[in-house]
Amino acid sequence: MKEFSYRGFMLDSARHFIPMEDLRKLIAAARICGMNRMHWHLTDDQGWRIEIRKYPQLTAVGAFRGRSVFGEASRTENNSGFYTQEDIREIVRFAGENGMEVIPEIEIPGHASAMLAACPEAGCRRTAYGPEGEEKAGEPWQYAVKTSGGIFPNLLCAGKPEAVRLMEDILDEVMELFPSKMIHIGGDEAMKIHWRRCPDCRARMRREGLQSEDELQRSLVLEIGAYLAEKGRETIVWNDVLSGGTLPPHFIVQQWAQGEEATRVFLAGGGRVIHSDTRVMYFDYPYGRIDVKKIWQSPQIPDWAKGYEDQLLGTECPLWTERVTNLERASFLLFPRLAAVGLKASGAGNLPWEEFRSAVRNIENLIEETGLKGAPESYWEMTEEAAKADVQAEHDRIYSAEALVFEKKEIKLIKLEKTERLMEEIGIPEPLARQVGDYALRE
């Protein structure tokens, strides 16, 4: 068993705001689990949580939202709020005292609705096509802090120099606040419907000879990554970015879902990877899908990383908070699963199950001394029946009648995105393809 240098967990303060006191408690408990990195997801469609002095509107607009629908999760609890720069410094200091490095994530180009609600000029100029295929300047898109979950086409414009400058200005302040060498700039789930319609994005593609919007995303990431590298920082991105082509080895890729082949190519080119497989490490998923025993059973080195063990920095367990609105729920989902991952990351995964389980018990006892409570033992090794019931309960929480309405809209957009990609692939002329898409987008 290998001992990983990177033993991380991720907190999402965007979907639901995590109060300062709760952050301190979670960090202290994560330390007990052996974690040494906290990835802090600070911005998303549903909230911008970090004060940026140069752009006060980012928090004045982006940190607030009204009644929200994330399935049956609370409509009101911790929807709004942000961290002042003083707060951020305090968390970085507190985490440091607990042996934990804090890695901030400012997510682009997707998951940027809250950012664009505050700074709409950094979004795309959308251009629709008229019936004769002529270009028609579209209305500026109405950005808003989203009050439901999902994937949205609200992307930072890759073609406007002022949009790139906005991101660089933000990162300047982020670098002042976070001493960590690594900075995460997101890159997952970027639906490119707007990019396809934006004259500025298309102009950049022409200028750089890019064949697809995925290549455009890669180009944007290379540009921001170069900016960070100039200042001595390293850039982390979600593995989705690799669909536009591989990245140079000074990038770090966080592998979460699919695209393993591209990640392997990236490793072959000398890149480093953080392992966050949804099937074992996504702790917003119920215990019915990932119980403690499953973590114990899972291979420490995934197949796609075999042969490149030294470039696998370690593991990270994200806690996305669409349906995690308070400390009690966060503790239940994180602990003791994080303890199990910590044990494995430190090389203790070879222990027989009973010994592993009692090591987890010991850590959970220490966590409970801090006042937090993890899931009871009945969730650690679930029977098939109990697991099924737990997954069903989570399903019912997610798919409330209200949430289904939002999901329908999302599915429609995802289908459109796929259709447009397909039309591109089979060589349907752009104006015609866009016209079909515009027609489907109407209503």
Q: In the complex, which residues of this chain contact Zn ion (CB under 5 A)?
A: 124, 157, 159, 198, 200-201
Nearest to Zn ion of 125, 357 (CB atom): 125
**What are the backbone angles phi and psi of residue 43, rounded to the nearest 5°?**
-140, 145
Q: Which of 339, 333, 344, 349 lies closest to 282, judged by CA?
A: 333
Q: Shortest distance, CB of residue 159 to Zn ion, whole angstroms?
A: 4
Nearest to Zn ion of 160, 233 (CB atom): 160
Q: Shortest distance, CB of residue 214 to Zn ion, whole angstroms?
A: 15
Nearest to Zn ion of 142, 385 (CB atom): 142
Q: Shortest distance, CB of residue 145 to Zn ion, whole angstroms?
A: 20
> Contact at 8 Å (CB) between 92 and 178?
yes
Q: Shortest distance, CB of residue 198 to Zn ion, whole angstroms?
A: 3
Q: What is the distance between the alpha carbons of residues 236 and 243, in angstroms, rounded to a whole number?
A: 15
Nearest to Zn ion of 63, 157 (CB atom): 157
Q: Shortest distance, CB of residue 120 to Zn ion, whole angstroms?
A: 12
Q: What is the distance between the alpha carbons of residues 13 and 48, in angstroms, rounded to a whole number?
A: 9
Q: Shortest distance, CB of residue 252 to Zn ion, whole angstroms?
A: 26
SS3 41: strand
Q: What is the distance between the alpha carbons of residues 324 and 307, in angstroms, rounded to a whole number?
A: 37
Q: What is the distance between the alpha carbons of residues 202 and 216, in angstroms, rounded to a whole number?
A: 9
- Give the C-alpha distances (Å, rounded to integers) separating 285 from 142, 207, 333, 391: 32, 43, 8, 9
Q: Shortest distance, CB of residue 195 to Zn ion, whole angstroms?
A: 6
Q: What pairs with residue 184 in β-bridges?
A: 105, 236
Q: What is the distance between the alpha carbons of residues 197 and 211, in angstroms, rounded to a whole number?
A: 15
Convert 12-33 into a string of H (helix), E (strand) and C (coil).
ECCCCCCCHHHHHHHHHHHHHC
Nearest to Zn ion of 82, 195 (CB atom): 195
Q: Shortest distance, CB of residue 157 to Zn ion, whole angstroms?
A: 3
Q: What is the distance between the alpha carbons of residues 278 and 289, in angstroms, rounded to a whole number?
A: 10
Nearest to Zn ion of 167, 295 (CB atom): 167
Q: What pairs with residue 251 in β-bridges?
A: 235
Nearest to Zn ion of 124, 338 (CB atom): 124
Token output for 201: 């994005």
Alpha-carbon 392 to chain mean position:
25
Q: Shortest distance, CB of residue 200 to Zn ion, whole angstroms?
A: 4
Q: What is the distance between the alpha carbons of residues 82 and 2, in angstroms, rounded to a whole number?
A: 38
Q: Shortest distance, CB of residue 162 to Zn ion, whole angstroms?
A: 11
Q: What is the distance between the alpha carbons of residues 309 and 152, in angstroms, rounded to a whole number?
A: 35
> Contact at 8 Å (CB) between 69 and 400?
yes
Nearest to Zn ion of 117, 338 (CB atom): 117
Nearest to Zn ion of 215, 407 (CB atom): 215
What sections of 346-383 are H helices per DSSP?
Answer: 353-369
Q: Are strands 251-255 and 272-275 parallel, antiparallel or unpaired?
A: parallel
Nearest to Zn ion of 136, 181 (CB atom): 136
What sections of 381-400 are H helices per DSSP?
Answer: 384-398
Token output for 105: 């994530």
